[in-house]
Copies of this chain bind each other. A is one copy, B any other.
Amino acid sequence: MSDDTDACSIAASLGIVGDRWTILILRDAFRGLRRFDEFRRDLDIPRAVLAERLRRLVDHGVMTRRAYQERPVRHEYRLTRMGLELSPILVSLMQWGDRWCREDGPPTLLVHADCGTEIDLHFHCWHCDTPFSATDIASRPGPGEHHRPMPPLEGADPEEPPGDEPSSHRAATG
């Protein structure tokens, strides 16, 4: 693969979590699963693959392996802070799937635990105090090296989504 890990943090992230099984394991971890066999049964994943993926996640610091009992010693896997911070990725994957991969509406809603309000993960500029969309994103060099510019973006056909309106807010093209 083009190892543009240096120039692109997306490529860097994919080096750790850029694989279907890994994402599903993490999803299950967010759902509270911790044990090898829980993951294995839920995902119906080959044992060897699960073992290898968990090892990778632990090696990278995304999960920890700790004994939850001695005699016989058995281990469980938990998300670290690094792992917990993957949540926006999983949430955005879920919301995109909700929106574009089904007609019958989301099977599960995510809400703010404190108040039960549905989670809304859209771009919002705290400076302009306004929502915006992908076409309103620009890029500029960061403190790290290896910047590659991103020209202004333009979509192709503005095909309508299957179901409802984009959202209550989200102005942009509308």
Chain copies in the assembled complex: 2
Are A157's CB and B64's CB within 8 A? yes
Q: How far is the CA of A148 from the CA of B17 in the complex (A)?
A: 23
Residues in B whose Cβ lies below 8 Å from that of A31: 148, 150-151
Is A7 in the interface zone, CB < 8 Å from B?
yes
Q: Which residue of B lies closest to A151 (CB)?
A: B32
Are B9's CB and A107's CB within 8 A? yes
Residues in B whose Cβ lies below 8 Å from that of A7: 107-108
A residues bordering B, Cβ < 8 Å? 1-2, 5-16, 18-21, 23-24, 27, 30-32, 42-45, 61, 63-64, 66, 78-102, 104-117, 119-128, 132-148, 150-161, 166, 169, 171, 173
